[in-house]
Structure 1
Amino acid sequence: MAINESFPMILIAIALCCLVVNTEARWMIGNKLSWKRVIVVDQSGKGDYKNIQEAIDSVPSNNVESVFIRVEPGVYKEKVTVPEDKPFIILSGRKTETTIITWNDNGDIWKSPTVSILASDFVGRYLTIQNTYGAGAKAVALRVAGDRAEFYACKIVSYQDTLLDEQGRHFYNNCYIEGATDFICGNAVSIFQNCHIHSISTQNGAITAQHRTTPAEETGFFFVDSKITGVKSCTLGRPWGPYSRVLFIRTYMSNVVVPQGWDDWGKPSMHSTVYYGEYECYGPGANRSGRVEWSRSLTTEEASIISKDMIDGKSWIKA
Structure 2
Amino acid sequence: MGCIAAVQCAITAILLVSTTVSSDDKTPIPADPSSLNAWFQANVKPLADRKGAIDPALEAAEAKQRTIKVRQDGSGEFKTLKDAINSIPTGNTERVIVDIGPGEYIEKLKIERGKPFVTFLGSPGNMPTLSFAGTAREYGTVYSATLEAEADYFVAANIIIKNSSPRPNGELKGEQAAALRIAGDKSAFYNCRLIGFQDTLCDDKGRHLFKDCYIEGTVDYIFGSGKSLYLGTELQVIADAKGNFITAQARTSEAEDTGFSFVHCKVGGTGKGAYLGRAWQPRPRVVFAYTTMSSAVSPEGWSNNSHPERDGTASFGEYKCDGEGANPCRPS
- Report the TM-score, using the length of structure 2 for normalisation: 0.77
1:172 matched to 2:210? The reply is: yes
**What do residues 56-94 of structure 1 show as CA deviations (whole Å, max 9, x unaligned)?**
110111111111110011110111110010000011111
After TM superposition, list the pairs within 5 Å mapping 1:1-319 onto structure 2.
28-29=18-19, 32=46, 34=62, 35-95=64-124, 98-107=127-136, 108-133=140-165, 134-136=167-169, 137-203=175-241, 204-233=243-272, 234-289=274-329, 291=330, 293=331, 295=332
Conserved 8 A contact 2:135-2:176: yes
Q: Which has the higher contact order (CA 8 A, sep 6+)?
A: 2
Specify the code of the residue in structure 2 equivalent to 1:192. Answer: Y
1:96-130: CA deviation from partner (whole Å, max 9, x where unpaired): 75310001121111221100000001001100000
Which amino acid letter does the alignment assign opposite residue 239 of structure 2? Answer: S
Q: In structure 1, how many angstroms separate the alpha carbons of the residues matched to 2:95 and 2:265?
A: 30
Of all paired residues, the percent bearing the same amino acid is: 38
Alpha-carbon separation, structure 1, partners of 2:224 and 2:96: 28
Q: Which amino acid aligns with 1:46?
A: S
Q: Residues of 1 paired with 2:148 and 2:317: CA distance?
A: 30
CA contact (8 A) 2:227 2:259 kept: yes
1:190–1:30 CA distance, 2 compared to 1 (3 A): closer
Distance 1:97 1:186, change over 3 A: farther
1:28 shift after superposition? 4.0
Tell me the matched-pair count: 266
Give 1:132 shift. 1.5
Question: 1:232 deviation in Å?
Answer: 2.5
Offset at residue 241 of structure 1 (A): 1.2
Shift of 1:288: 3.5
1:29 shift after superposition: 4.3
> How far apart in 2 are the matches of 1:256 and 1:201?
9
Worse-matched range after superposition: 132-141 or 210-219: 132-141
Partner of 1:182: helix, strand, or coil?
strand
Q: SS at the partner of 1:102?
A: strand
Report the CA distance shift for 1:89/1:261 in structure 2 as closer, same or farther (over 3 A): same
Q: Is the 8 A contact 1:96 1:128 kept in 2?
A: no
- Asked whether the equivalents of residues 181 and 201 of structure 1 are also in contact (C-alpha less than 8 Å), the reply is no
Deviation at residue 30 of structure 1 after TM alignment: 9.1
Matching residue of 2:31: none
Residue 130 of structure 1 aligns to a residue in which SS?
strand
RMSD of aligned residue pairs (Cα, Å): 1.6
AA matched with 2:168:
A
Kept in 1, the 8 Å contact 2:319–2:328? The answer is no
**Could you say if the C-alpha distance between residues 275 and 29 of structure 1 is closer, same or farther in structure 2, counting changes exceeding 3 Å?**
closer
| CA distance, structure 2, for counterparts of residue 230 and residue 115 of structure 1 | 25
Which of the two has greater helix per residue?
1
Contact in 2 for aligned 1:247/1:278 (Cα 8 Å): yes
Give 1:146's aligned amino acid: G
Give the distance between the partners of 1:189 and 1:98, measured in 2 at CA. Answer: 27
1-side partners of 2:129 and 2:244: how far apart?
A: 26
Equivalent position amino acid for 1:165 in 2: D
Give the TM-score normalised by the residue count of structure 1. Answer: 0.80
| 3-state SS in 2 of match to 1:156 | strand
Provide closer, same or farther for how the CA distance between residues 97 and 282 of structure 1 changes in structure 2, counting only shifts above 3 A: farther
Q: Determine the C-alpha separation between the residues in 2 that align with 1:240 and 1:120.
A: 26
Contact 1:198 1:230 in 2 (8 A): yes
Equivalent residues of 1:75, 1:98 under 8 A apart = no
The residue number in structure 2 matching 1:5 is none
Once residues 91 and 119 of structure 2 are traced to their aligned partners in structure 1, the CA distance between those partners, rounded to angstroms, is 15
Whether contact under 8 Å (2:244, 2:271) holds in the other structure is: no
Could you tell me which runs of 5 or more consecutive residues in structure 1 were left unpaired when the two chains were aligned: 1-26, 296-319
Q: What is the letter of the counterpart of residue 141 of structure 1?
A: A
**Alignment-derived partner of residue 316 in structure 1:** none
- SS of 2:143's partner is coil
Whether the 8 Å contact between 1:96 and 1:127 is mirrored in structure 2 is no
Counterpart code for 1:129: I
SS of 2:141's partner is coil
> How far apart in 1 are the matches of 2:131 and 2:153?
23
